[in-house]
Amino acid sequence: MKAAIITFPGSNRERDMRMALTRVNNGKAPLDVWHGDSDLPQGLDLIVLPGGFSYGDYLRVGAMAANSPIMRAVKARADAGTRVLAVCNGFQIACEAGLLPGALMTNAGLQFICKEVNLRIETTQSEFTQKYRKGQTIRVPVAHHDGNYTLDADSVKQLEDEDRIAFRYADGLGNVAPETNLNGSVSNIAGIYNAKKTVLGLMPHPENATDPVCGGTDGLGLFESIAESLS
Amino acid sequence: MKARVHVSLKNGVLDPQGKAIGHALHGLGFKDVADVRQGKLIELELTGALASKPKAEIEAAVKEMAQKLLANTVIENFSVELVG
């Protein structure tokens, strides 16, 4: 699998992402691409938009990064079918860039939330989650201030009908309820796919749950799924 | 020539910050505030060829800026005002 991580000014999880990808890719590290570049390396199987606070969250979260030179190339590759994993700030950037529907707004409680949460795997019919079981609960960290996923009701229904909701905020038993809604996201949504299921965006950080000595390994399944699909 | 772009959240989109401001106003004794919505105001100082064009063309150009960057039309409305 040939992967590349895009680093923006203010990205801060690109190294964690690199470790997670290297772990599942036979020790082969992903390539680094800078936001100011206008071209991507040839033959990429996966592009990653990592977490952080690109451009200081100026204007709206992800808005400035979505208009940086490299994103034109990312959009072209995504349209051509290259897989994209967009985590946290990456999810915000992907929404702003139009790769995914909806928008991420300020958390309903107005607080920055940094803790471990339970996610229910909503579908395993994807190259990103095939190693999990449908309905399985995994524990991964979140760290965000703007993770309140917002989308109109008709479009949420469409996501449901097309099996494009990847993860929902749940309790430890996999129950999804208003009380388990972390940040006000519509329908407890923590992650979604584009129509072709080639782009996954999510607020939690699976890359920070891939090492048994630090944060557990519940996020590893996602990276193993990707490596298996794209290798 | 100056352009002002007013950006506000669409109706139906929850505004947690507006809600918190409302609570704070109630705490200060302003009980007659029913609802608060927070938006933003972006001022653009225009220059060059654009500034000397007819108003309709300037407005169209600023609207394009708003659509492409200044507002996220998934969640926000905007209006353009030309000054001077």
Give the chain B residue nearest A107 (alpha carbons): B16
- Residue A8 corresponds to which tokens in the numbers above? 């923006």
Is B14 a residue whose pLDDT tops 90? no
In three-state secondary structure terms, A141 is strand
CA distance A196 to B11: 30
pLDDT digit string (tens) for B27-83? 999 999 999 999 999 999 999 999 999 999 999 999 999 999 999 999 999 999 999
HSE of B40, CA atoms in CB hemisphere, 13 A: 11
Q: Which pTM value belongs to this model? A: 0.95
Provide DSSP, chain B. Answer: -EEEEEEEEPTTS--HHHHHHHHHHHHTT-TT-------EEEEEE--HHHHTS-HHHHHHHHHHHIIIII--TTTEEEEEEEE-
* Gap from B34 CA to chain A (nearest CA, Å): 19
Q: Assess contact for A156 and A176: CB atoms under 8 A.
A: no
Say what the pLDDT of residue B75 is: 95
Chain A: nearest CA to B74, how far in angstroms?
6
- Confidence category of residue B12, pLDDT binned at 50, 70, 90: confident
Yes or no, beta carbons of A96 and B72 under 8 Å apart = yes
Q: Which of residues 154-183 of A touch B (CB under 8 A)?
A: none
Q: Give yes or no for residue A182 having a pLDDT over 90.
A: yes
DSSP annotation of A111: S
Q: Give the max Cα distance, chain A.
A: 46
Q: Is A105 on the interface with B (CB under 8 A)?
A: yes
